[in-house]
Chain A
């Protein structure tokens, strides 16, 4: 079955710096790749997603890139702010399914003011 590996497990950056989180997936049939942000005591919230017919997608300070050949995708956060501190999860699914997801292990991002 599908396996999603996420790195790093923890990431600490200074406010204003960029943060990059990387994920690799094993099943070449996967074609939907969402990123979720989870704040303490809350459920995951979708922040950006990408489908396999697109190589890059941007939304203000957040961008996601997808390399289908290498089977990896990355989350880029520019100009980080303290409120970006949270746990971030990548995920993958087949058949463009929005909710039947295989998640990575998570990255705890800490943005120091």
Chain B
């Protein structure tokens, strides 16, 4: 049971480049989420998705784009990376709107 997996685990990119972080879950959960974790801020919600083709903004969506063409995948794209987007990114999923969220292992992104 793979659960929820993120790739890559580590990524270094240059300012201005486009980068995509992948998230894949094997549970057929309806809801998926992207969070970023920064020291002193805990985790902050970037985007979430209630189902395939349904996405919505979270707390800090600026500079990010998401898509969800298949239930199991929820990629996060930084169209033009900035140093302020250096962070650890976590993907999560939940069965439905009211059940607990399960988190992936995270992707550490460094923008130089």
A residues engaging B (CB < 8 A)?
1, 4, 6, 32, 34, 36, 41-46, 49, 89, 91, 95-106
Contact = CB atoms under 8 A, between A and B. Distances in A.
Given A89-B42, A99-B92, A103-B42, A43 B105 contact: yes
Interface of B: 31, 33, 35, 40-45, 48, 58-59, 90, 92-94, 96-106
Given A43-B104, A98-B98, A103 B48 contact: no
Given A42-B105, A43-B103, A99 B41 contact: no
A105 B99 CA distance: 22
Contacts of A32: 98
Given A98-B99, A100-B58, A101-B101, A44 B90 contact: yes
A103 B101 contact: no
Given A44-B43, A99-B92, A104-B42, A34 B100 contact: yes
B101 A98 contact: yes
Contacts of B42: 4, 6, 89, 103-106
Given A41-B105, A105-B42, 14 more contacts: A1-B59, A6-B42, A34-B101, A43-B104, A46-B102, A91-B43, A97-B97, A98-B100, A99-B31, A99-B92, A99-B93, A100-B58, A102-B59, A105-B41
